[in-house]
Amino acid sequence: MPNATLALAQALIARRSLTPRDDQCQELLISRLEKLGFRIERMRFGEVDNFWARRGNTAPLLCFAGHTDVVPTGPLEQWDSDPFMPVIREGRLYGRGAADMKSSLAAFVTAIEAFLETHADHRGSIALLITSDEEGSAVDGTVKVVETLKARGELLDYCIVGEPTCTDRLGDTIKNGRRGSLSGNLTIQGIQGHIAYPHLAKNPIHLAAPAIAELASTVWDQGNEYFPPTTWHISNINAGTGATNVIPGKLNMLFNFRFSTASTVESLTAQVHGILDKHGLDYQLQWELSGKPFLTPKAELAEAMRDAIRQTTQLDPQLSTTGGTSDGRFIADICKQVVEFGPINATIHKLNENVEVNDLEKLSQIYQLTLENLLTGIRDQTDSADTD
């Protein structure tokens, strides 16, 4: 239907779903899915609304995953229009969540609707995993739904996460993995004292400096075909009382690894402790793992989506693992093939967030063709013909 994706995207943007609020976005989606024969499970954990919807009981199971919550707007007076009153200007749809990721949610639904009009008896199953906790703490959202599905043995064959992945044109980038995120909270003990009597004190800044230099210069791995080398960076460091004549008694430092599948949590933590111990520091170190890296190599899902993108946009998308974390890190625990694909990401989390109106139906068509490639055997037949 003309502009069906646009209309649904506008309806979703009009709901003030500031994380972790959903503001009835999910009920809007559910009302459309129930008409298509989906079984709906509402899963509320803590203050977070999630739902799992499935149509069919056989393999392969293709899941669309996304989030209804959005980040705060920032100063309202700096927006050209109300961020929760979707408007179209010069061919672009403006509003908070337009790119991240309410347009993808709308395209999920319209793609499934169009697919089922002609393939009601498709093979396999279709599902949606939707949360309102991706932009926030991400503790009561997708991770909890995944735990529930895993506990009952309900695994996925393919998953498409609707994150905005494209850089310049719709269709130029598919994310087939993400780096992991590992943070450390390091405290180095010294002895506070008068700066004029340094022999009676121990300056933790001076003690830590050689270790920090070694950590900053360490090559953690070389990366691999899909990932750049692992990086280590300090995000915050502080010590002292604010006075110029007091040697501080301790130093606190926050740091983060963005790591590839070429390293493990165990290898990185062991290396850091080894460096700190080598320099004889008195320290405490707490670790927090936000997400392990995941990778989907070139296989059925990535190739099916690349075919769909070529048909729709005539672009040959690149596979990329750049960027921050996403809920794909949780879904990879129950699904061997996870990719992310969605609109251009140039305005996400910014003032005047927007997407091109013309991209919305193209996005829906890409999702629809991917469904056809994986759940109707069309791609299998094409591959066979190419081989012949």
Catalytic positions are 69, 134
Q: Is-cis flag, bond preceding 20, omega within 30?
A: yes
Q: How far apart, in whole angstroms, are the C-alpha atoms of residue 265 and residue 283?
A: 20
Cβ contacts of 67 within 8 Å, gap of 6 or more:
101, 130, 131, 132, 133, 134, 135, 141, 142, 327
CA-based nearest residue to 82, from 93, 100, 94: 94
CB 264 within 8 A of CB 279: no
What residues does 186 pair with on adjacent strands? 253, 285
